[in-house]
A and B are shown apart, each in its own frame.
Chain A
Amino acid sequence: MSEIEIGGATAANAVPADGVEPLAHYVSSRPFDPYASERLTSAQERFYSASQWRMMWWKLRRHRIAVLSGAVLLAMYVSILFCEFLAPYAADTRNGDFIYAPPQAVHILFDGRLVWPYVDGYDYRLDLNTLKRIYTPDPNKREPIRFFCRGDSYRFWDLIRGDLHLFCPARGGQLFLLGTDRLGRDMLSRIIYGARISLTVGLLGVVVSFTLAVLIGGIAGYYGGWTDILIQRVIEVVQSFPHLPLWMALSAILPVSWSPLLVYFGITLILGLIEWTHLARAVRSKLLALREEDFCTAAVLMGARPARIIGRHLLPSFMSHLIASATLMIPSMILGETALSFLGLGLRPPMTSWGVLLNEAQNINVVALYPWLMLPVIPVIVTILAFNFLGDGLRDAADPYH
């Protein structure tokens, strides 16, 4: 037996042996805080009292690819606000002398010295055997690129007249960084203008889908029973249609007499009308579980109406998940629009979207002779990848306790 143990036993029993003075009673004079062990540092406090959205943001920030994708998308969406300014030409400027001109390379070195960026002007010749237009860059024709310059005039947002561009060709020269199409229109400018349509189609379509999904899924999940079974069947029917043929059929019956803008809204509506089912299922299954929770019962007992309970109490508890899933829906809508326009059933030419541009690349000659007409596919791929990565990141982040 060790001494410590004996001492401990003595102290615990606190019965002094005969003739031994008891130890003096000691009380610390320092103030006593019963919660001392649970005291949080300010950093911890910030962490524990953070709102759900803040925690999502912290988690998302660690997902570097998602943040990068978000930045790319933000840049793209901001750019559609200024496409008149960003594009070197107007969307419909025809350069009759430069039909199917290949992309020009930007040079910044001349004789090994750094110079103002310039492109080589084209020498044009018609091959009389194949009737193919042949453009050869002429190193003697140096055409320096101008920045913040006056070029094609446009109506900014269809309201304000302007002719200021971020960069334009040299006076009397050409600047086709991505080549031209069969009417000699600059591909780069058209791709920049096309972003305005292609990127918003996805957003508007998702708004339609999201609303439908929350509404229908909410009703099914909250009421359950027969309503639920009926809605489940409807979802199954919609899902068993292959999307593209149905989209094709619906957009084929849009009246020909509609204006391009109306067709645009029609197409977004069609895209949104079919994509809502997966999200509606998610909403339904979440609601089925959540409506059994105590806070929901409390709301019912306090006399809240179903719409308020769903919208105010149930939906916010998994809104982050919904937004993450909605982000993942956008790519399929953008691809849908691209496919429809490519087939000629979607948007029609006065409108410029990436799908409409790809419509020109419909046959094999293009691949062989004018491969740059396929370039609009690159922004499509970038956008879709970015939305996928961002959506994945958001989905992981939506569960901050995981």
Chain B
Amino acid sequence: MGRYIVHRLLVMIPTLIAISIVVFTIINLPPGNFFSTYIAELQATGQKADLVRIHFLEQQYGFDRPLWQQYLYWVGGLLHGDLGYSFLYNEPVSQVVGDRLLLTLIVSFATILFTYLVAFPIGIYSATHQYSWSDHTLTLLGFLGLATPNFLLALVLLYFANVYFGISIGGLMDPNYVNRPWSWAKTVSVLAHLWIPVIVIGLGGTAAMIRRLRANLLDELHKQYVVTARAKGVAPVKLLFKYPLRMALNPFIADIGSLLPHVISGAVIVSVVMSLPTTGPMLLEALRSQDMYLAGSFLMFLAFMTVIGVLISDLALAALDPRIRLQAGRRP
């Protein structure tokens, strides 16, 4: 197992480097850098640019150097927590971001938890009751969940949550708790607000997961060993849980890799609609105003989160499945 973990961590490094190169390219794609537009803007409005400060910033972030050196500066900064400088807020990115990253993590984690908790029982039920009315209904609901743009669903749910449950619109907590230190009451308020985004973001992924679990489980259920076991009189519940379900679970865990980008994408747009204090709205704002360092660090953070999520799912898979664990580093 130790060898596998080491191997898996080593593979992650080139991936992260490649991701950082892509993100840096995106940061630099708009013509000109922030300072040239900034100075031009100030001059256009007849103001005087603080050339000393700009010069200082330019030097600190290496704008006067060739591109590959700028890249190394940026990556070096990332490695010890300097996320760059947000020119929109005139503050270092790490200050601007605040606890948005933490809240993004909370929302994503809760969504994945929700996905598993809902998809697992429903998937098993659908597979064991194939072609029953409830199976058809659940399948239809799942398809609707896949097809509805989640941002609109968020709006509608938000409205009804406000009308029927009196939950304040927007945000992840009651307005009273914003900028307060974490307390029990604040946590409760966050939980009361969390369920809408979690349901909305999780819906698409849950539907996909149910369909996959159902298909996998059905494949297993039609195999000979199940028939044999049933013929020998193994109790139905034990038969289901002991063999076919374990086989069908593998893809379930491996799915985190594809679930996580989905959840993060969903979280971005849903949090824009619901104005959650997560990375989504700020990323949008940063992109709109071409504050590329801020946008770049968000992109980097989101991609990093995905990579870590895939790592965790791979490790969990290895723990469950000896075939993967023992093949570490060996290509078939």
Contact = CB atoms under 8 A, between A and B. Distances in A.
B180 interface: no
B128 interface: no
B164 to A, nearest CB: 13
Contact of A381 (B148, B156, B287): B148
A250 B26 contact: yes
Interface string B254-268: 000110111011101
Contacts of A388: 143, 146-147
A242 B302 contact: yes
Contacts of B29: 253
B159 interface: yes
A374 interface: yes
Interface residues of A, number: 42
B19 interface: yes
B291 to A, nearest CB: 10
Contacts of A170: none
A366 B155 CA distance: 9
Contacts of A234: 18
Interface string B108-148: 00000000000000000000000000000000000110111
B264 A362 contact: no
A14 interface: no
Contacts of A374: 152, 155-156
B187 interface: no
Interface in A345-381: 345, 358, 361-364, 366-368, 374, 377, 380-381
Interface stretch (B44-52, B72-80, B89-97, B303-311): B303-311
A237 B26 contact: no
Contacts of B170: 364
A241 B257 CA distance: 11
B107 interface: no
Contact of A342 (B15, B22, B269): B269
Given A242-B265, A249-B295, A384-B146, A233 B287 contact: no
B268 A245 contact: yes
A252 B148 CA distance: 24
Contact of B149 (A233, A250, A338): A338
B151 interface: yes
A195 interface: no
Given A242-B302, A252-B288, A385-B143, A358 B149 contact: yes
A interface secondary structure, majority = helix
B45 to A, nearest CB: 19
B152 A361 contact: yes
Given A249-B299, A381-B144, A240 B307 contact: yes
Given A244-B265, A249-B295, A364 B169 contact: yes
A367 B22 contact: no
A245 B295 CA distance: 9
Interface string B158-179: 1100100000011000000000
Given A233-B14, A237-B15, A245 B152 contact: no
A282 B213 CA distance: 21
B30 interface: yes
Contacts of B269: 244, 339, 342-343
Contacts of A245: 264-265, 268, 283, 298-299, 302
B326 to A, nearest CB: 21
Contact of B15 (A240, A255, A335, A343): A240
Contacts of B276: none
A249 B149 CA distance: 20
24 contacts: A239-B258, A240-B15, A240-B310, A241-B19, A242-B302, A245-B283, A248-B287, A249-B295, A250-B26, A252-B287, A253-B290, A338-B149, A343-B284, A363-B155, A364-B158, A364-B169, A366-B155, A367-B155, A368-B159, A374-B152, A380-B149, A381-B144, A384-B146, A385-B144
Given A244-B266, A342-B149, 13 more contacts: A237-B18, A241-B22, A246-B299, A249-B26, A338-B149, A343-B269, A366-B155, A374-B152, A374-B155, A377-B152, A381-B148, A385-B144, A388-B143
